[in-house]
Amino acid sequence: MDISIVIPVYNEEKNLPELYKRLFRIIKRLKKSCEIIFVDDGSTDESFEILKKTNRRNENVKVIKFSRNFGHHIAISAGLDHSRGNAVVLMDGDLQDPPEEIPKLYEKYKEGYDIVYAVRKTRKDPFLKKAVSKFFHLIFRLLGKIETPPESGIFRIMSRQSVEALQSCRERSRFITALINWTGFSHIGVETRRESRYAGRSKYNLFKSLRLAMDGFMSFSFFPLRIATYIGFFVALISFTMMIYMLIKKLFFGIPILGYVSIIISVLFIGGVQLLIIGIMGEYIGRIYTEVKSRPMYIIKEKLGIK
Ligand code: UDP
Ligand code: MG
């Protein structure tokens, strides 16, 4: 098998026929042996029925159906686990990543890079979503956890070797692009078009995007914990200075019985800082808890065309 194309699908019934039609055309033009692996991430609409039909028509279309919704990046991981191609293409199932750009990625890939990712010339997403994504990308880049530019997403082609490296990471809270970056293979960007969703609505609302970003951030960096330590130091320093000041004042100048406001302020301040730091620690402990339970990353209900 030359190329596997992995596509996560969550309630994309209106996009699938068009997606398949366009992919089929491109694959024919590529003249390579290709498989398409659709991962149905617990869709509640007709997506699976459509995929079933497609699989019956074309044996190179393979389908994995999850028992429930496990999430975009986990769906991609399941597709990778079942792919056999020497090169693997990752793309979304809503036609935002145009299939017509696959040959461009493949051409560059043949030059010998392990990973060729698509850089969006145009991005048609809501402003707030773009802002959140840009902001987190910037932080990731500053922390050195990612090297790809903010205009790149999932759409990419990867070598078998880099796929295997990625497969060896089994953590459950996963941010695929940063994980791929972590594996450290050679990569390069290629400018491609990015279209608007063909049909339906984005499955990521602002809250879900934030959660993904937080997951990525927390699983790749101790930075928040370090910040907590710095805040701790800072508050301890203030408290210590305050203590000396109060002692001197008491011993040499005497203190009239006042200080109601200052006591309230310091109690609230220390309480707030403590809660903040406990919260940050809790985020990490929660993630440790999830990983320690070692539950499977996903559960498959049905496989079509895959042993
Ligand atoms: N998706 C998924 N599981 C989810 C959410 C999304 O498999 O829980 C799929 C979705 O069907 C699509 C891709 O991931 O093929 C990207 O999702 P979407 O287009 O909603 O995200 P956006 O492009 O708006 O960031
Ligand atoms: Mg989309």
pLDDT at res. 236: 92
Query: 13 with 80: CB under 8 angstroms?
Result: no
pLDDT at res. 141: 84
Per-residue pLDDT, averaged over 89-106, amounts to 97
Per-residue pLDDT, averaged over 144-152, amounts to 83
What gap in Å lies between CA 22 and CA 17, rounded to an integer? 9
Among candidates 248, 179, 261, which has minimal Cα distance to 216? Answer: 179
HSE, CB side, 13 Å, CA atoms: give it for residue 156: 26
Alpha helices in 206-259 (DSSP H): 206-220, 223-248
Among candidates 263, 266, 268, which has minimal Cα distance to 238? Answer: 266
166 alpha-carbon distance from chain centroid: 13
Return the CA Rg of the chain: 25
Ligand 1: centre distance to CA 55 (Å): 21
Burial of 8 per CB tally in 10 Å (0-12, 13-18, 19+): buried
Query: 22 with 99: CB under 8 angstroms?
Result: yes
Kindly tell me if the per-residue pLDDT of 111 is higher than 90: yes
Question: What are the structure tokens assigned to 130, written together?
Answer: 């773009």
Question: What are the structure tokens assigned to 20, written together?
Answer: 């398949």
pLDDT at res. 169: 95
Query: 166 with 180: CB under 8 angstroms?
Result: yes
pLDDT band, very low/low/confident/very high, at 27 (cuts 50, 70, 90) = very high
Which protein residues have a CB closer than 5 Å to ligand 2 (ion)?
A: 92, 94, 96
Among 9, 65, 70, 92, the mutation site with the greatest number of ligand 1 atoms within 8 A of its Cβ is 92
Ligand 1: centre distance to CA 174 (Å): 15
Kindly tell me if the per-residue pLDDT of 144 is higher than 80: no
pLDDT at res. 214: 85
3-state secondary structure of 9: strand
Among 13, 72, 129, the mutation site with the greatest number of ligand 1 atoms within 8 A of its Cβ is 72
pLDDT band, very low/low/confident/very high, at 64 (cuts 50, 70, 90) = very high
Query: 128 with 210: CB under 8 angstroms?
Result: no
Question: What are the structure tokens assigned to 137, written together?
Answer: 């990308």
Helix (H) or strand (E) holding 62: strand 61-66
Nearest-atom index, ligand 1, CA of 39: 7
How many other CB atoms are found less than 10 A from the CB of residue 146? 24
What gap in Å lies between CA 73 and CA 50, rounded to an integer? 22
pLDDT at res. 36: 98
CB distance 12 to ligand 1 below 6 Å? yes
pLDDT at res. 209: 86
What gap in Å lies between CA 76 and CA 158, rounded to an integer? 13
pTM: 0.90
Of the listed ranges 48-62, 121-135, 197-211, 287-301, the one predicted with least confidence: 121-135
pLDDT at res. 166: 97
Between the alpha carbon of residue 292 and those of residues 35, 133, 215, 257, 284, the distances in Å are 35, 29, 16, 53, 12
